[in-house]
Structure 1
Amino acid sequence: MLDLRIAPREIEESFEVLKEGNLFLTSLPGGDVPGQSLAGLGLYYQDTRFLSCLEHFISNTRPVLLSSSTRGSHFGQVELTNPELETAGGVRLPLQSIHLRLVRVVRGALYQRLRLVNYNQFEVSVPLKVLMGADFRDIFEIRGARRLRRGTHLPMVRSQSSFLLRYRGLDGIVRGCHAVFDPPPGDIRESGDGVLCTFDLVLPPQRKVYLTWLVRPLLDPGEEVVTEWSGRRLDIVFGNAVGEQAEEHRKWRSRSTIFASDNEVFNRMLERYTSDLRALYAAYPDGRIIEAGIPWYAAPFGRDSLITGIQTLILNPDLARDTLCFLGRYQGRGVDESREVQPGKILHELRRGEMANCGEILHTPYFGSVDATPLFVVLLGEYFAWTGDRALLTEMRENLESALAWCREYGDLDGDGYLEYHGRVEGGLNNQGWKDSWDAVADPEGNLAEPPIALVEVQGYWYHALEHAARLFKVLGDEHGAGRLRAEARRLKARFIRDFQVPGEEYLGFALDGKKRLVSTVVSNMGHCLWSGILDPGPAAQVVRRIFRPDMHSGWGIRTMSRWEKAYNPMSYHNGSVWPHDNAIIAAGLRRYGFLNQMEQLFTGLFEAAQHFPYQRLPELFCGFARRPTGEPVRYPIACDPQAWAVGAMFMFLQAALGLSCSRKGLQVTKPMLPGWLRELTVQNMRVRGGTVDLRFSRSRGVTRCELLRKEGRFTVSIEE
């Protein structure tokens, strides 16, 4: 029998992603998911890979890729053709004489339609073979976790037009991969670990021939599902799925801000990022939340979702509201040291796959994060300032108070007023800030810092949380509580610069270690203190000067670590790479302290970097090599793409550039600044304080003006140019 499997090989540099809700597909640009993929490609649902192989062959050869694209992050199209080949009947088909168009949409299932056109002047009889397989592996296993035992693969069930692959996990759940075809294949048979479906096609000249199929992930399916779709017109089902999905995205856009500029590249970026955020916006039984990123982090992450909610208030405040509600439902209620749960704490990561169900991983959920809880308070404060949603604030008062109590009683391990962490749980995180890789917190000699660790940016987040909480308590009528919070913030700010400024230097250290020694490594974390407002103008200016030196600024953006440090590696995850969200937070801080030229420099660098990545989409991170006149940013090989706070970064940059902020008085536009590559920008349907507003920004001779076009609602618009 012909072995159609792909031999081990280097996976292509990029892959295509389609996602809707809890279901996503990652494939090669040509549409295939190679069996035994080294890159974790496949169809995933609830942390399980339900389709690990999907390969197409025409007359036992692979089609040739012409082009591929995705639209709306849920609709994909691949253009293919034939190599020169000879049919079983001895007919030689010239190169590029048959066109194959593969169209896909994700909506509760993977729908696929293949259209073939024969451009020869004679009829062609040719077999089309589709090899499919399902390994039902947990995503943690695909990421490298070793399992001593796995569940059992059950016998395949088939009918004339469908088959069902099943796996009974160690958690007792039977997971099924159900594939349905219209028209039915001529043959469905097992082939190695997969299923080979053969269609004996007759292609008249210049005529379109269509094949449609779908793949459904199922939990606890019965054998009868193979006959459920008997006689169904899948072409109609496919068309309905395409239409319904397009309507869902239309509704999403109607509730989101519309940005239109004179720069078409920037317009396409914002359209793509808006679509990506909709794709990452997933519904669970507990509510909706932005998932962190594809493929490895398609799950609720506290820190990632909170920062994305902050970034995207100018786009759609629904993301922030739903994130707050979701995380509030999972807020720690008691103490469980095995998962680092404590009262008031906000979760780090939640998983729902077999390994989570069996207790093989901690993420059910896992709470190993030192910064998610203060960021929860920050997002609640930012959301209320932007929307004036008093009903949600009242509903979340207990969550707010519990989060503040956690910061004081559990987050501060030694009573010194700083938030620290000490990762002690096997299988948990040793580092629990946003740089959470094992080697991320290193001293100038390259040695790992001794816990418990108080990170510099986390103290800024805590200060920011106290300031927001004071304003929220005042709104709730608790003036005394608001005063206590303001006093607490002042005390934190007063001692912060004393403890975190490197003696004899004009910058902030990375952290305090377990012996309260300052870790003086030069890292980007200090830039987050600009955003939080914990610095007075003098120290803020010192931080700005330090992070814009060439050892920190690569030309594309601020590196996570200075290239002069011993632990520096531009290809590492956290020790020298460039993260878009890190730069966006810094940019928001530059706006706070009035460093507009530096802010424009960062904005421009990331905008130009994005143009070198597929779909002009900023990835999770990229390598920190210095920018060269003829070079381009160097890709980090396993970065998530799309990743929530990376695509959200551009909206945070935009808010900083336009000088947009909200308070109880309404919307403020303060010293707006369009970067040099924008002359005009219109903002339409931006939701503010229960209403909407349209604004136009224009730049002439280096000066940016703002014009109010429309306002609906009971709020003010203040423009200070």
Structure 2
Amino acid sequence: MKDLVSILDGNTFLVSDRRGDIEPSLDFPTGFFSFDTRFLSTWLLTLGGERLHALSIDDAESFRTRFFLVPGEPTHYLDAKVSVIRSRAISNSLEEELTLLNHSGEETEFVVHLDIAADFADLFEIKHVQQKHGHTTATVGDNELRLAYHREGFHRETVISTSASAHIEVSSMTFRVRVAPHGEWTTRLRVATLVYGARGEDIRASLPLHGSSRGPDAIRAEQDELIARAPKLGCDCEPLAGAYRQSLNDLAALRYESITLGVRLLAAGLPWFMTLFGRDSLITSLQLMPFLPELVPPTLMILAGLQGHRIDDFRDEEPGKILHELRYGETAGFEEQPHSPYYGSADSTPLFVILLDEYERWTGDTSLALRLEAPTRAALDWIDTYGDLLGTGYLWYHTRNPETGLQNQCWKDSWDGISYRDGRLPGFPRATCELQGYAYDAKIRGARLARTIWGDPAYADRLEREAAELKIRFNRDFWIPEREYYALALDAEGRQVDALSSNIGHLLWSGIVDESRAGRIAEHLMSPRLFSGWGVRTLADDQGRYNPVGYHVGTVWPFDNSIIAWGLWRYGFRREAGQICDAMVGASRFFGGRLPEAFAGYERDLTEYPVEYPTACSPQAWSAGTPLLLLRVMLGLDPQGEHLIIDPAVPEGMGRVELLDIPGRWGHVDALGRSRTPHDHRRGR
């Protein structure tokens, strides 16, 4: 991602190289995308037949970028007689202004050329290199090029127009211009995307944002208004302040308007996950609760509205199950992928219950808890029925769709994310440890909702009894006495999948860990085997499949660490939680304040900086949410009845941390914490 530049507005985004060019690539999906379709696959600018090179890039805003370019190789920069400013902004279309500046003392003729193509590829086709089944046409009009794709009822169009006269062909625009001495020439290009429905109209036209002429100023105003509602952070630690600002900016930018549902939702991450994900959306909502709780209800309502209601093997759908992923592209529409929506995650369902309870505890909004009573009961029923595949009282997963379904349906959902200590892979079904923690927490929280809001004490008693039994059973069957940690999973025969992983930190967050064992879990998490110095690795460095640059087998995931810190805090390990907070804040400084999806698990002493994971999503919603949850942990924020408990434990060296106007059922309150030595982080330690 380092050599790529992206701009986004919700589900519409553009990824280019550092010249602003788009070229087809198998390494990473460059292009102009909207709702899972690539509307530009080539957008390549040349001047007099030469490629351009970037002197500087202004990408301070998520939706607007400027490239300052000159022709020739970098060694020619000092001799440049001409330069180009490429200014672009994105909303429901792409607006690009090309300005050519003649720095010579003579009138000069220039040939400005744009190569253009639209392959209308679905994101899944890019990821897995699939062949298109429809056909593309190109039509040249008056200062306009229209590219269209048809496959039966699936119809998408890209319309490119220019404010200056151009020679337009089916794959290019050419401008022959004469520029006065020290003069300039400008054209404004517009790339509009059209998503046609059955009636032959852009189906986004009726949506409030997509149907308007919403431009960059409106986007900025909307994002600024959202950010202004968040609590104000004052602190001595500049990396923390920078990470907080960046997180709010990224969360504002990742909001998008659902193409069919007409509400604002959080996309999971750029570029692969610019859509609704059950797990990601639920965890991000938990992270941002103390800051922007008003973003939570739309997520809960949409997930409830799309809750599974039948058995559908193709989509891994079951009654009561919360979706995993919702897509809008061609492969989903023609059922070549099951993502319309797809239900292949075992953790979204208990997390749905957890989030609803946390939202009510934080906001006092009993109306939403009452409105979602039926979906919540259905989710709790799913845990005990379809979720318990083997009838053992545990939450298992095994895809119903062996061709296109996900094998692993926990958060570590890559093919090798769950393994034995020696590196072997278990068979299916699998019951990972954190799923049992989530199920336990969901039952405890469901019981609270039943007793205090739904008026059903008998149901509450039953859920609490089931939770207590699950905790006893779990601590018996998952604990590995000789190693003194919990197994990563149980296999289909009930044997322990004995790898040491970060998942045990999620157990602390859920509350399923016996108090007598919590200290040992904390020690494992903070030992050199798991803790790299920059964060807790997904897999300990002495395990068979450990790889510091393996997606789920040794990298450090910021969101994972935020949940672990929350779990350590819950069991009273404030110093250890602070170590993780300090490590994450320190790492953020090397990423410009924006924590990526994941980074390498190398030892801190080995690299002295966090090494990038090559294809990490950035921005990503639950990574953007990480600094927010870490602030909650450091300040010890916990809703209790009508009050917010504030019990700060700021890591040593971080100085003053002050959060003003924290919203909730108590109105707005302020929180202040202070460590002993404030000066280290001021120097950017």
User: Are positions 1:390 and 2:345 aligned together?
Assistant: no
Instruction: Note the 1:629-648 alignment, pairs <5 A.
Output: 631-648=608-625
Report the secondary structure of 1:209's partner residue: strand
Q: Distance in 1 between matches of 2:645 and 2:666?
A: 15
Instruction: Decide which of 159, 181, 196 is 2:141's aligned counterpart.
Output: 159
1:714 aligned partner: none
User: Are positions 1:255 and 2:229 aligned together?
Assistant: yes
Q: Distance in 2 between matches of 1:58 and 1:214?
A: 20
1:514 aligned partner: 492
What is the one-letter code of the residue matched to 1:270? Answer: Y
User: Per-residue deviation at 1:204?
Assistant: 2.9
1:534 aligned partner: 512
What is the one-letter code of the residue matched to 2:79? Answer: L
1:27 aligned partner: 16
User: Using a 3 Å threshold, how does the CA distance of structure 1 residues 684 and 525 change in structure 2: closer, same or farther?
Assistant: same
Instruction: Decide which of 146, 154, 160 is 1:173's aligned counterpart.
Output: 154
1:342 aligned partner: 318
What is the one-letter code of the residue matched to 1:254? Answer: A
User: Are positions 1:628 and 2:605 aligned together?
Assistant: yes
2:554 aligned partner: 576
Report the secondary structure of 2:125's partner residue: helix
The answer (yes or no) to whether the contact 2:332–2:338 under 8 Å persists in 1 is yes
Q: Which moved more, 1:649-658 or 1:26-35?
A: 26-35
1:52 aligned partner: 41
Report the secondary structure of 2:50's partner residue: coil
User: Using a 3 Å threshold, how does the CA distance of structure 1 residues 267 and 117 change in structure 2: closer, same or farther?
Assistant: farther
Instruction: Decide which of 226, 240, 244 is 1:266's aligned counterpart.
Output: 240
User: Per-residue deviation at 1:577?
Assistant: 1.1
1:204 aligned partner: 180
User: Using a 3 Å threshold, how does the CA distance of structure 1 residues 326 and 357 change in structure 2: closer, same or farther?
Assistant: same
Report the secondary structure of 2:275's partner residue: strand
1:282-313 per-residue CA deviation (whole Å, 9 max, x = no partner) reads 11132332111111111111111101111111
User: Are positions 1:669 and 2:646 aligned together?
Assistant: yes
The answer (yes or no) to whether the contact 2:655–2:678 under 8 Å persists in 1 is no
The answer (yes or no) to whether the contact 1:123–1:205 under 8 Å persists in 2 is yes
Q: Distance in 2 between matches of 1:630 and 1:569?
A: 15
User: Using a 3 Å threshold, how does the CA distance of structure 1 residues 205 and 268 change in structure 2: closer, same or farther?
Assistant: farther
What is the one-letter code of the residue matched to 1:73? Answer: S
Instruction: Decide which of 102, 105, 130 is 1:118's aligned counterpart.
Output: 102
Instruction: Decide which of 661, 686, 690 is 2:662's aligned counterpart.
Output: 686
2:50 aligned partner: 61
What is the one-letter code of the residue matched to 2:272? Answer: W
Instruction: Note the 1:297-316 alignment, pairs <5 A.
Output: 297-316=273-292
Instruction: Note the 1:70-85 alignment, pairs <5 A.
Output: 70-83=59-72
Instruction: Note the 1:91-106 alignment, pairs <5 A.
Output: 95-106=79-90
2:450 aligned partner: 473
User: Per-residue deviation at 1:94?
Assistant: 6.5
What is the one-letter code of the residue matched to 1:153? Answer: T
Instruction: Decide which of 106, 126, 131 is 1:142's aligned counterpart.
Output: 126
What is the one-letter code of the residue matched to 1:351? Answer: R
Q: Distance in 2 between matches of 1:96 and 1:571?
A: 41
Instruction: Note the 1:230-379 alignment, pairs <5 A.
Output: 241-284=215-258, 285-286=260-261, 287-379=263-355
What is the one-letter code of the residue matched to 1:266? Answer: L
The answer (yes or no) to whether the contact 1:368–1:432 under 8 Å persists in 2 is yes
Instruction: Note the 1:400-479 alignment, pairs <5 A.
Output: 400-425=376-401, 426-476=403-453, 477-479=455-457
1:366-417 per-residue CA deviation (whole Å, 9 max, x = no partner) reads 1111111000001111111111111111111111111111111111122222
The answer (yes or no) to whether the contact 2:239–2:588 under 8 Å persists in 1 is no
What is the one-letter code of the residue matched to 2:224? Answer: R
Report the secondary structure of 1:292's partner residue: coil
Q: Which moved more, 1:549-558 or 1:213-222?
A: 213-222
Report the secondary structure of 2:321's partner residue: coil
User: Using a 3 Å threshold, how does the CA distance of structure 1 residues 416 and 38 change in structure 2: closer, same or farther?
Assistant: closer
Report the secondary structure of 1:573's partner residue: coil
What is the one-letter code of the residue matched to 2:381? Answer: A
1:3 aligned partner: none
User: Per-residue deviation at 1:553?
Assistant: 1.2
User: Using a 3 Å threshold, how does the CA distance of structure 1 residues 101 and 553 change in structure 2: closer, same or farther?
Assistant: same
What is the one-letter code of the residue matched to 2:574? Answer: L
1:554-607 per-residue CA deviation (whole Å, 9 max, x = no partner) reads 111111111111111112111111111111100001111121221121112122
Report the secondary structure of 2:605's partner residue: coil
Instruction: Note the 1:32-47 alignment, pairs <5 A.
Output: 32-36=21-25, 38-47=27-36
1:189 aligned partner: 169
What is the one-letter code of the residue matched to 1:493? Answer: K
Q: Distance in 2 between matches of 1:576 and 1:128?
A: 48
The answer (yes or no) to whether the contact 2:535–2:561 under 8 Å persists in 1 is yes
User: Per-residue deviation at 1:677?
Assistant: 4.5
The answer (yes or no) to whether the contact 2:48–2:110 under 8 Å persists in 1 is yes
1:412-433 per-residue CA deviation (whole Å, 9 max, x = no partner) reads 1222221111124121011110
Q: Distance in 2 between matches of 1:563 and 1:698?
A: 34
User: Per-residue deviation at 1:36?
Assistant: 4.7
User: Using a 3 Å threshold, how does the CA distance of structure 1 residues 688 and 97 change in structure 2: closer, same or farther?
Assistant: farther
What is the one-letter code of the residue matched to 1:579? Answer: W
Report the secondary structure of 1:212's partner residue: strand
The answer (yes or no) to whether the contact 1:182–1:211 under 8 Å persists in 2 is yes
User: Using a 3 Å threshold, how does the CA distance of structure 1 residues 61 and 472 change in structure 2: closer, same or farther?
Assistant: same
User: Using a 3 Å threshold, how does the CA distance of structure 1 residues 109 and 553 change in structure 2: closer, same or farther?
Assistant: same
Q: Distance in 2 between matches of 1:691 and 1:603?
A: 27
Report the secondary structure of 1:657's partner residue: helix
User: Using a 3 Å threshold, how does the CA distance of structure 1 residues 369 and 401 change in structure 2: closer, same or farther?
Assistant: same
Instruction: Decide which of 564, 572, 594 is 1:594's aligned counterpart.
Output: 572
Instruction: Decide which of 194, 204, 221 is 1:218's aligned counterpart.
Output: 194
Q: Distance in 1 between matches of 2:313 and 2:119?
A: 33
Report the secondary structure of 1:305's partner residue: helix
1:320-364 per-residue CA deviation (whole Å, 9 max, x = no partner) reads 221111101100112212211111100011111111111101111
What is the one-letter code of the residue matched to 1:49? Answer: R
1:36-65 per-residue CA deviation (whole Å, 9 max, x = no partner) reads 564210011121111001111112112221
What is the one-letter code of the residue matched to 1:269? Answer: A
User: Per-residue deviation at 1:532?
Assistant: 0.8
The answer (yes or no) to whether the contact 1:84–1:96 under 8 Å persists in 2 is no
What is the one-letter code of the residue matched to 1:150? Answer: H
The answer (yes or no) to whether the contact 1:290–1:305 under 8 Å persists in 2 is yes
* Overall identity of the aligned pairs, in %: 36
User: Per-residue deviation at 1:123?
Assistant: 2.8
What TM-score does the superposition give when structure 1 sets the normalisation length? Answer: 0.88
User: Per-residue deviation at 1:16?
Assistant: 1.5
Q: Distance in 1 between matches of 2:119 and 2:666?
A: 49
Aligned residues: 663
The answer (yes or no) to whether the contact 1:37–1:52 under 8 Å persists in 2 is no
The answer (yes or no) to whether the contact 2:54–2:68 under 8 Å persists in 1 is yes
The answer (yes or no) to whether the contact 1:108–1:216 under 8 Å persists in 2 is yes
What is the one-letter code of the residue matched to 2:553? Answer: N
Give the CA RMSD over aligned residues: 2.3
Q: Distance in 1 between matches of 2:292 and 2:470?
A: 33
User: Are positions 1:556 and 2:534 aligned together?
Assistant: yes
Q: Distance in 2 between matches of 1:602 and 1:68?
A: 33
Structure 1 regions of 5+ residues with no counterpart? 1-11, 86-91, 226-236, 704-721
Report the secondary structure of 2:408's partner residue: coil
Q: Distance in 1 between matches of 2:364 and 2:73?
A: 65
The answer (yes or no) to whether the contact 1:84–1:95 under 8 Å persists in 2 is no
